């Protein structure tokens, strides 16, 4: 069978719909038009003769990061290493873009086959993170005052530099999409829309921002392991969540990206849903070029 890899377009939707992936109501099919027509997203397909056997794409964030994903294979053609072949080429295509300096992918920690594929491609583990969600955090509050909101842009810049940029720590840029930090992740226009709340002695900060991934989320980011030892932290998150629910006029969820260490500090009565943690894999341009 002749093997061909190419960028997909709107005309390829029938091929996508004909794939037998074993996934019911696949969101990739539902948003196919957005994935092949928007500048931020690219979707590639591996064809065997006239059959679309595997798909994979990437999305661009902050102009400098590309996240691989939407990997699907037709069950009739599995066992031929097609997904690995396609993902490798998609990663190469992402690095052809001059501004991209990091390419990565997310997969659940328990998905050992997917992790092996990513490691085979030269991607290395960056972090293991729970995408923890809750409808409210009332059980974690103790009545302490809400923290002080920062409005000074320079102070916000100082916090993100000290916590993330300086050491390249993983920063949850969006729900589902964390990246190793660089200055490119923190454009002024982003920082101006994110809310920063500082505790009374200015030793801790929580960043809250809004996101929508099917549902509205209050995305709360806190970098320390003392989740239960900082008076006012949960009151601050709850206050921002209440404000978001009022503004969108519907129930929103709280999302926090928690490390395993942070998750283990939560009390038994916590209200978070903690699914299997996600493993972030990635590689920088220099490392990828050396391995080529």
CATH of the domain at 199: 3.40.630
Query: Do 81 and 212 lie in a common domain?
Result: no
Structural domain including 9 reads 3-100
Residue with tokens 């926090």: 256
3-state secondary structure of 135: coil
**Domain-embedded: residue 105:** no
Q: Quote the pLDDT of residue 178.
A: 96
Count CB neighbours of 179 within 10 A. Answer: 26
| Phi and psi angles of residue 240, each rounded to the nearest 5 degrees, phi first | -65, -35
**Domain-embedded: residue 115:** no
| CB within 8 Å of 101: residues ≥ 6 apart | 64, 65, 182, 284, 285
Query: Do 84 and 157 lie in a common domain?
Result: no
235, 146 Cβ separation under 8 angstroms: yes
What are the distances in angstroms from CA 228 to CA 77, 98, 145, 256, 258? 50, 44, 15, 14, 13
Query: Do 160 and 82 lie in a common domain?
Result: no
Q: Quote the pLDDT of residue 165.
A: 97
CA distance 88 to 98: 18
Of residues 79, 134, 122, 126, the one with CA closest to residue 107? 126
Taking every pair of C-alpha atoms in the chain, what is the biggest distance, in angstroms? 67
Q: What's the pTM? A: 0.90
Query: Do 154 and 228 lie in a common domain?
Result: yes
Angle at CA of residue 90, ends 108 and 19, nearest 5°: 70
The count of domains in the chain is: 2
Task: Pull the structure tokens for residue 43.
Answer: 């979707």
**Domain-embedded: residue 64:** yes
Of residues 234, 230, 203, the one with CA closest to residue 220? 234
**Domain-embedded: residue 113:** no
| Phi and psi angles of residue 49, each rounded to the nearest 5 degrees, phi first | 55, -120
Query: Do 137 and 94 lie in a common domain?
Result: no
Query: Do 273 and 135 lie in a common domain?
Result: yes
Query: Do 73 and 180 lie in a common domain?
Result: no
CA distance 24 to 49: 25
**Domain-embedded: residue 108:** no
**Domain-embedded: residue 118:** no
CATH of residue 39's domain is 3.40.630.30
Query: Do 273 and 191 lie in a common domain?
Result: yes
The half-sphere exposure of 144 on its side-chain side, counting CA atoms within 13 A, is 17
CA distance 64 to 95: 10
Helices then strands, counting H and E runs in the chain, come out as: 10, 14
Query: Do 162 and 265 lie in a common domain?
Result: yes
Written as tens digits, the pLDDT of the chain (292 aa) is: 899 999 999 999 999 999 999 988 899 999 999 999 998 999 999 999 999 999 999 999 999 999 999 999 999 998 888 999 999 999 999 999 999 999 999 998 988 888 888 999 999 999 999 999 999 999 999 999 999 999 999 999 999 999 999 999 999 999 999 999 999 999 999 999 999 999 999 999 999 999 998 899 999 999 999 999 999 999 999 999 999 999 999 899 999 999 999 999 999 999 999 988 999 999 998 766 666 5
Query: Do 229 and 161 lie in a common domain?
Result: yes
Query: Do 38 and 137 lie in a common domain?
Result: no
**Domain-embedded: residue 110:** no
Query: Do 159 and 269 lie in a common domain?
Result: yes
**Domain-embedded: residue 146:** yes
CA distance 243 to 226: 25
């Amino acid at each position: 069978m002749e093997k061909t890899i190419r960028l997909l377009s709107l005309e390829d939707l029938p091929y996508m719909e004909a794939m037998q992936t074993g996934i019911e109501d696949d969101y990739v099919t539902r948003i196919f038009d957005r994935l092949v027509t928007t500048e931020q997203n690219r979707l590639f397909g591996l064809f065997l003769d006239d059959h679309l056997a595997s798909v994979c794409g990437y999305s661009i964030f902050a102009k400098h990061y590309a996240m691989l994903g939407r990997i699907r294979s037709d069950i009739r053609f599995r066992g031929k290493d097609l997904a690995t072949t396609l993902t490798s080429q998609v990663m190469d295509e992402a690095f052809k873009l001059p501004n991209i300096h990091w390419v990565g992918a997310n997969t659940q920690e328990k998905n050992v086959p997917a992790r092996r594929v990513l490691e085979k491609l030269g991607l290395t583990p960056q972090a293991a993170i729970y995408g923890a969600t809750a409808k409210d955090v009332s059980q974690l509050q103790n009545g302490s005052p809400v923290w002080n909101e920062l409005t000074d842009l320079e102070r916000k810049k100082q916090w993100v530099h000290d916590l993330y940029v300086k050491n390249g720590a993983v920063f949850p840029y969006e729900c589902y999409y964390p990246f190793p930090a660089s200055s490119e992740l923190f454009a002024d226009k982003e920082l101006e829309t994110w809310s920063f709340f500082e505790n009374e002695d200015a030793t801790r900060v929580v960043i809250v921002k809004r996101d929508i991934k099917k549902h509205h989320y209050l995305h709360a980011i806190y970098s320390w392991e003392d989740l239960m030892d900082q008076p006012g932290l949960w009151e601050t998150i709850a206050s921002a969540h209440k404000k978001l629910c009022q503004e969108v006029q519907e129930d929103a969820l709280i999302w926090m990206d928690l490390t395993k260490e942070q998750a283990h500090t939560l009390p038994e009565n916590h209200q978070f849903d903690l699914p299997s943690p996600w493993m972030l894999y990635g590689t920088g341009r220099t490392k990828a070029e050396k391995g080529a």
